[in-house]
Structure 1
Amino acid sequence: MSVSELLWDRPSAAVLGTLILAHGAGAPMDSAFMQGIAARLAARGIAVVRFEFDYMAARRVDGRKRPPNPQAQLLARWSQVYAAVRAEVARPLAIGGKSMGGRMASLLADELGADALVCLGYPFHAAGKADKPRVAHLADLRTPTLIVQGERDALGNRTTVEGYRLSLAIDLHWLATADHDLKPLKSSGLTHEQHLDSAADAVAAFLTR
């Protein structure tokens, strides 16, 4: 793939690490969430590389909404992007993403030999299907992993997730009263911006420790 297809956010000072960040199922690589996280991480010394899966890139061309590509195609795209970035940057190189993008990264992290994995709003199960968790591979994950999760995420709230058997390589960072987009309840007195700052702090500390 062409490196020109990638969207970079680079720190103005020294680069402490690089994170390839994939978008979720319904929003592109330049959504407000992705822009906000990328800018915050760059301000904390982490270079962020964003890309789009094929279905989202096609939507950008003709404006037509499409469902995500089959999993095999999503994983192939991830592997292609990782190889391109790996050829361009020095270690440490982490992978991850928002929701679906993070889940696809988690399926490949060990195989690719990524230095770390970062998931923002991990979809532990589909909406309304807590009885069908997507966690089997997370029990044996070897890659150092940080999952930033809202306590009331409809795809994996704190009570549900604490009942799963997860690898010791996984750290969970919980955000009070936050949903799948890391937005807190207004009654909490917290703001979305504060939670994005907290997420960026946690990710930067994790990637530089």
Structure 2
Amino acid sequence: MDLLIEGDALLGRVILAHGAGAAMDSEFMEYVSHRLVENQIQVVRFEFDYMHQRRSGGKKRPPDRLDRLIQAYNDVIDSFSDQVPLFLAGKSMGGRVASMVLDQSDAQACFVFGYPFHPVGKPLTTRTDHLLALEKPLYIFQGERDPMGHMTEVNNYVLPSTVQINWFEDGNHDLKPRKRSGCTQSAHIDSALSVMTSVIVRRHSERDVNALES
């Protein structure tokens, strides 16, 4: 599996997985990665096998089975053996997979941009069962009008305290608002990244304190 590794892991390492329909070098993924690298956070991007085959063969393919997606994410985690603080992240489907491997990994937290709470048009087919048992923190950055889980729907879910949802005004699945809202997608993403960076910095500081006390 080819890995795209950017930046120095001065504060930590983020493994960032793409969504179902866009590759690891999509505009959204590029923006998120570059902003994290600017904040001294290393970003590791990779592609699930179906996307890799789509890139090399040119034929559009559906996502792999969930078990294969989970195994692929775990393979990336296992490729690093150093003691750099690890964080998981992903866009939509990639974030869902990241949240499913979180508790069994050495990662300290997980971040999801646009969690796919349910398929589009199927609000009763929820993807929240594993969230109820999460022991590690999960931060979700969700647009208020996301068709895969908008604010009215999701606020009716019963989720544990380990799951923190950050809502973005008028945002869609890519956190993009309509012009009339007065908001911008870049501002929403930057706000999400500010939360993400703050968590990573705090975890890094706690790690330094623990090292001094031991």
Q: Partners of 1:45 and 1:90 in 2: how far apart?
A: 16
Q: Partners of 1:103 and 1:76 in 2: how far apart?
A: 13
Which of 35, 46, 67 pairs up with 1:51?
46
Q: Which moved more, 1:48-57 or 1:14-23?
A: 14-23
Q: Partners of 2:167 and 2:36 in 1: how far apart?
A: 18
Match of 1:204 in 2: 197
After TM superposition, list the pairs within 5 Å mapping 1:25-104 onto structure 2: 25-85=20-80, 87=81, 89-104=82-97
1:140·1:166 contact (CA, 8 Å) conserved in 2? Answer: no
CA deviations on 1:135-168 (whole Å, 9 max, x unpaired) are: 0111110111111111111101111111111121
List, as ranges, runs of 4+ consecutive aligned residues in structure 1 with deviation greater than 6 Å. none
After TM superposition, list the pairs within 5 Å mapping 1:1-209 onto structure 2: 5-11=2-8, 15-85=10-80, 87=81, 89-209=82-202
Q: Partners of 1:106 and 1:137 in 2: how far apart?
A: 8
TM-score by length of 1: 0.92
Q: Partners of 1:46 and 1:174 in 2: how far apart?
A: 24
Q: Give how far 1:45 is off.
A: 2.3
- Identity of aligned pairs, percent? 46
Structure 1 runs not aligned, ≥5 long: none
Q: Partners of 1:51 and 1:7 in 2: how far apart?
A: 6
Q: Partners of 2:201 and 2:116 in 1: how far apart?
A: 25
Q: Partners of 2:46 and 2:183 in 1: how far apart?
A: 30
1:146·1:206 contact (CA, 8 Å) conserved in 2? Answer: no
1:21·1:95 contact (CA, 8 Å) conserved in 2? Answer: yes
The number of residue pairs the alignment matches comes to 202
Question: The residue matched to 2:94 in structure 1 has which SS?
Answer: helix
- Please tell me the residue identity of whatever aligns with 2:6: D
TM-score by length of 2: 0.90
Structure 2 runs not aligned, ≥5 long: 203-214
1:28·1:52 contact (CA, 8 Å) conserved in 2? Answer: yes
Question: The residue matched to 1:97 in structure 2 has which SS?
Answer: strand
CA deviations on 1:25-81 (whole Å, 9 max, x unpaired) are: 000000000000111111122211100000001111111110001111111101101
What CA RMSD, in Å, does the superposition of the two structures yield over aligned residues?
1.3
Q: Partners of 1:206 and 1:128 in 2: how far apart?
A: 33
- Please tell me the residue identity of whatever aligns with 2:191: S
Q: Rg: which structure is higher? A: 2
